[in-house]
């Protein structure tokens, strides 16, 4: 199932008018896909900016068109790296690095998706871009032909490119044969709900009202998407001013004077997203009750 299909299914299950996801998963990939409903779709950009953790398997000996299991083989090698050789190149792929996205990716070139051009047989050249790799660890080496790794990375990182480039660096070629996203900050594996669980509940409760009541237990408050961003807790008078789109003074001994991103809460619930300038919270996006 693709990310768009998953969103459509969740939108139907919860009877939502709006829904959106925070970061597409490759067709090969499994794992965590944060989905926002209704007003919570306004928080999607903040979740997409969060760090992501992937566990993945690189299979050595082949380079493929898609840099994963689904592509055609274009290069082969009989070389196989040792743990020491793998560990020796990992520093090249941590920190802020330049990375060329896969040819089969959603990157736009002159208005066209790279994967569409590649499928048509066109020559695809994608410029290298800056990405951040916070950590890159070996989890296990199950056999000479593969390695299981875990990466924590910033927005825009392609794990398929990591596998391709590490394989080239080691002189043995490599591609992703398994990929699972385990975290999209601030959401982690503890937050995962299998789609099958939701579908089973919906089948048990065919009436929409009963279905919604059964499924509501899995919803997280919209404010859960704002972890790591300064919070401005407001009393009711100030909250009412913000609801009308007006700025308010940020009070409290440790309150920030300036912040490019902040959120205001009323009774612990997300009220608005905005900025703090000269000690004033200025709302940019106000949420409904």
- Active-site positions read 26
Report strand pairing: 269-277 vs 259-266: antiparallel
Phi–psi pair at 138, nearest 5 degrees: -80, 125
List the structure tokens of 148. Answer: 């299981």
Q: Concatenated DSSP letters for 40-55?
A: GGGGHHHHHTS-EEEE
At a CB cut-off of 8 Å and minimum separation 6, what does 229 contact? 46, 261, 262, 263
3-state SS class at 139: strand
List the structure tokens of 57. Answer: 């398997």
Element (H, E) at 75: strand 73-76
Distance CA 154, CA 51 (A): 5
């Amino acid at each position: 199932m693709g990310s768009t299909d998953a969103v459509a299914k969740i939108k139907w299950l919860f009877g939502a008018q709006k829904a959106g996801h925070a970061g597409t998963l490759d067709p090969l990939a499994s794992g965590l896909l944060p989905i926002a409903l209704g007003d919570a779709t306004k928080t999607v950009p903040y979740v997409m900016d969060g760090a992501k953790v992937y566990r993945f398997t690189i299979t050595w000996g082949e380079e493929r068109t898609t840099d994963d299991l689904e592509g055609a083989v274009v290069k082969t090698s009989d070389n196989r790296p040792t743990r020491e050789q793998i560990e020796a190149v990992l520093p090249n792929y941590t920190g802020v690095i330049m990375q060329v996205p896969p040819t089969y990716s959603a990157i736009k070139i002159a208005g066209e998706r790279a994967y569409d051009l590649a499928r048509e047989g066109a020559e695809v050249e994608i410029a290298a871009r800056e990405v951040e790799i916070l950590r890159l660890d070996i989890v296990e080496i199950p056999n000479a032909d593969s390695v299981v790794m875990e990466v924590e990375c910033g927005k825009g990182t392609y794990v398929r490119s990591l596998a391709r480039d590490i394989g080239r660096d080691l002189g043995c070629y490599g591609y992703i044969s398994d990929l699972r996203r385990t975290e999209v900050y601030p959401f982690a594996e503890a937050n995962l709900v299998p789609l099958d669980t939701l579908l089973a509940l919906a089948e048990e409760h065919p009436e929409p009202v009963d279905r919604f009541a059964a499924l509501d237990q899995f919803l997280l408050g919209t404010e859960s998407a704002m972890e790591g961003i300064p919070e401005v807790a407001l009393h009711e008078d100030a909250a009412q001013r913000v609801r009308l789109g007006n700025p308010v003074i940020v009070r409290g001994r440790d309150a920030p004077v300036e912040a490019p991103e902040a959120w205001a809460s009323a009774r612990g619930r997300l009220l608005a997203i905005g900025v703090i300038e000269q000690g004033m919270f200025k709302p940019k996006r106000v949420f409904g009750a």
